[in-house]
Structure 1
Amino acid sequence: MDTLLRSMAGQAQSTLIASQPSRVMGRELEPTPYRIVPVPYYAMLASVPFCPAILGTVNTELRQQRGNLVHIHAPNPWADVAALRAPRDVPVVMTWHSDIVRQQMLLKLYGPMQQKALLRADRIIVFTPKHYESSAQLQQARIEHKVHAVPIGIDFAQLDETPSEDAVRAELLQWAAGRPIILTVGRHVYYKGYHHLLEAVAALQSDAVLLMIGTGPLSAELQRHARERQLLDRVRFLGEVSRGVLATALRTCDVFCLPSIERSEAFGIASAEAMACGKPTVVCDLDNGVNCLNRAGETSLLTPPRDERALADALDQLVRDDAMRARMGAAANRWVRSSFGIDAMRDGTLALYKTLL
């Protein structure tokens, strides 16, 4: 959202209503070219902030004529209710990120409201055509006529202008000791498939090492898994890192891996950033937006989800074949930079807005 709103500065006046942990409410926010209205949340329930204050805040903003269009991101029950409560003459745009995959009990309770919100929305944005084609919940609503594919935009300028941290690069290369570096970036949550990636590393025929950036609820469990499998000499957990360290890791690695096992992974921004840095990717075939980004055999190698042997073989193939790695990395760079830039996202979104205003 931040990338989109920054890109629209000067062409649209935007207000971001964003949930914030109640314990940090009142802290000064970093300056942005758009207005931010923080609302407190008190707990996370099924990965969704418990944030009832958002409902009154949206209505207040509309009453005070600070907006003539509501743009929500789904799935999110609070955003759906806010859209349903918006006046009928206020158009609603919804960006659909992913179906609810794991929380089936929640879906039974929330599904009817979700369907009402889909029907209420005037336009629905998906990042790729595959997002709609592979979404059971969008298909159920029968709203194809208002679904529009607008590519997610990567801020290549920020990526290119972030200087590498030479000391970090030197330290990573010293740790790797001449071994190929596989990089993965993401939250440590179930659908990312990191347990399967660790098993794939254990099965590698090459001497490649794995660098993991990110944290999450499963961090301790993943570190214990690596220790029990005696992988700590070839797996390194960096945790949360600065933008400079991330850029350094993206430029230093040989291969990027996105081992996600569920369609909760709808695109994979980290893999797009790696591709923009000229890195080939190994990803799981989820038959959704991940496949649109990662082109099988051209920029990426795709493997079946949860197939640790296939994942290991694909990683081995790339780290052992310098020519293939260079060819696919160059193709990845061309593809992502020509198709997933900020301009396409901004222009596509503004064009949809203009059809409603």
Structure 2
Amino acid sequence: MRISFLLHNAFGIGGTIRTTFNLAQALAERHEVEIISILRHREEPNFSLDPRVRVRALVDLRTERDDPRHRRPPKVFPAAEYRFDQYSALTDERIANCLAGLDSDVVIGTRPGLNVHLALQGPRHAVLVGQEHLTLDNHPPGLRNELRRVYPRLDALTTVTHADADAYRRKMRLPGVRVEALPNSVPPPALPPADSSAKIVVAAGRLVRVKRYDLLIRSFARVAAERPDWQLRIYGRGEEREKLRALINELGLYNNVFLMGPAPAMEAEWVKGSIGASTSSFEPFGMTLVEAMRCGLPVVSTDCPHGPGEIITPGKDGRLVPVGDQHALSEALLDLIQNDELRRTMSEAALANSRRFDPVPIIEQAEALFTELHEAKASGRRAKPPLRVRVGARLVNRGHLVRDAAFAAAVSTMRTMRRGNR
């Protein structure tokens, strides 16, 4: 198949870019794959990419930023989408022309605004797939209304969590649209895993308000008071850097907490630590959680919507604490810091449990979905949605149950309880 991805800016840094690159280069093993970057601001992408994946940009900001069309607001890209200010009449024109000329079998949008373009202008011969890397509940009402209007023109919609897929099925009227959970994948690290001996807690991500690094730093003040031999290293860049630096100085943590800046290869930094930490108030998935676990780090995370609860098994490979609870966060960190055996046990579990996010099973799921939809469209029919069974509050594809140990365990427990009640 010929597969095309529409990506906001393939030359930036972010989780959507990284996961799109991972999926594209895995599919390139058997398919012809390209990434269409709407914007471009530098010569080469920040992330490495398999040379078999073609990358082309529609608007080069280095030479076209002052184009008069780029100063006029877009008419197709939805105004309620938070990237709206970066789009224009020029991007409207280039995206429309690009989609009109595509001969791809599958075209995949990677954010709501691009999914709107895809639904309205995508080639009708192709399978049109919208990806959601945020969550339905996080979209403003105006955007949800726009998506409700145009998403029925898509063939499929994928979300990164089962919880968000359930939200789309319950709250949006999308007749005939396949809604599937397709988690982000993380390749196995090239380095040996952490050995749990380093006295380092590692966190990574954009230094922005929603990540609540201020909470993490304040929580670590207690850790440093009880265990001054431990460090907290925070990787990333963003608008909160100076505020966080001031907080570190205010709390006298300059010998324990370090803002490390961005790291192009985070796995080399994860393996230097023994515990991963995430304090977000909102996390659509939680790529850094999986990355840390794949490097052998148990993770202490806030139990924010939606990702952490589907990644971490509390007490087995990490800890989940209430959002914003500084005391609970300190307690969870100290619990792992002060118990070497527990930390080693959780490290082993983190390595084992995180393998479900390996690209192989996730790529197989994506490839099966795209192939089924392509064959159905070629024959003039819609692909039937898979049979789902309810596990707790979630609807899960019966064929995927065996891939998820948590769901399989839940089903086993329910069956045992039913037998006991007979």
State the TM-score, normalizing by the size of structure 1: 0.83
Q: Which runs of 4+ in 1 moved over 4 A?
A: 28-31
CA distance in 2: counterparts of 1:86 and 1:77, whole angstroms: 13
Residue by residue over 1:38-66, the C-alpha shift from the partner in whole angstroms, topping out at 9 and shown as x without a partner, is: 133669x8356613444444443444343
Give structure 2 stretches of 5+ with no counterpart. 1-19, 71-80, 375-422
Aligned residue for 1:300? 318
Identify if the C-alpha distance between structure 1 residues 17 and 275 changes in structure 2 by more than 3 Å, giving closer, same or farther.
same
- The answer to whether residue 103 in structure 2 is matched with residue 66 in structure 1 is yes
1:1-357 aligned at under 5 Å gives the runs 1-22=20-41, 24=42, 27=43, 32-40=51-59, 46-47=82-83, 50-52=86-88, 53-74=90-111, 76-99=112-135, 107-133=140-166, 135=167, 139-143=170-174, 146-156=178-188, 159-160=189-190, 180-204=199-223, 205-207=226-228, 208-243=230-265, 246-262=266-282, 265-337=283-355, 339-357=356-374
Per-residue CA deviations over 1:159-216 (Å, capped at 9, x if unaligned) read 22x589xxxx9xxxxxxxx982110010111211111111111122333321011011
Structure 1 residues 12, 315: CA separation in 2 closer, same or farther (over 3 Å shift)?
Answer: same
Aligned partners of 2:256, 2:311: CA distance in 1, in Å? 29
Asked if structure 2 preserves the Cα contact closer than 8 Å seen for 1:62 and 1:68, the reply is no
Moved more, 184-193 or 142-151: 142-151
Count of equivalent residues: 328
SS in 1 for 2:149: helix
State the Cα distance separating 1:79 from its structure 2 match: 3.7
- In the TM superposition, residue 34 of structure 1 has moved relative to its aligned partner by 1.4
Task: Determine helix, strand or coil for the equivalent of 2:301.
Answer: strand
Partner of 1:172: none
Q: Give, as a single letter, the amino acid of the residue that structure 1 aligns with 2:152.
A: L
> Structure 1 residues 203 and 120, CA, compared in 2 at 3 Å: closer, same or farther?
farther
Distance 2:124 2:357 in 1: 33
CA distance in 2: counterparts of 1:309 and 1:127, whole angstroms:
30
Q: Say which is worse superposed, 202-211 or 281-290, in terms of deviation.
A: 202-211
Structure 2: which amino acid aligns with 1:230?
Answer: G
Letter of the structure 1 residue corresponding to residue 128 of structure 2:
V
2-structure distance, mates of 1:335, 1:187: 26
Alpha-carbon contact 2:300-2:332 (below 8 Å) kept: yes
One-letter amino acid of the structure 2 residue matched with residue 355 of structure 1: E
Contact 2:289–2:308 (CA under 8 A) maintained in structure 1? no
* C-alpha contact 1:213 1:239 (8 A) present in aligned 2: yes
CA distance in 1, matches of 2:137, 2:212: 14
TM-score (norm 2): 0.71
Secondary structure in 2 aligned to 1:46?
coil
Letter in 1 for 2:108: H
Q: Do the aligned partners of residues 48 and 307 (structure 1) sit closer, same or farther apart at CA in structure 2, a change above 3 Å counting? A: farther
Q: In terms of mean alpha carbon deviation, does 320-329 or 58-67 score higher?
A: 58-67
Change (3 A) 1:316 1:90: same
Query: Which of the two has higher C-alpha Rg?
Result: 2
Percent identity, aligned pairs only, is: 21
Q: What's the RMSD between the two structures over aligned residues?
A: 2.8
Aligned AA (1:203): R
Gaps of 5+ in 1: 170-177
Mapped contact 1:19–1:49 kept (Cα < 8 A): no
Deviation at 1:298, TM superposition (A): 1.0
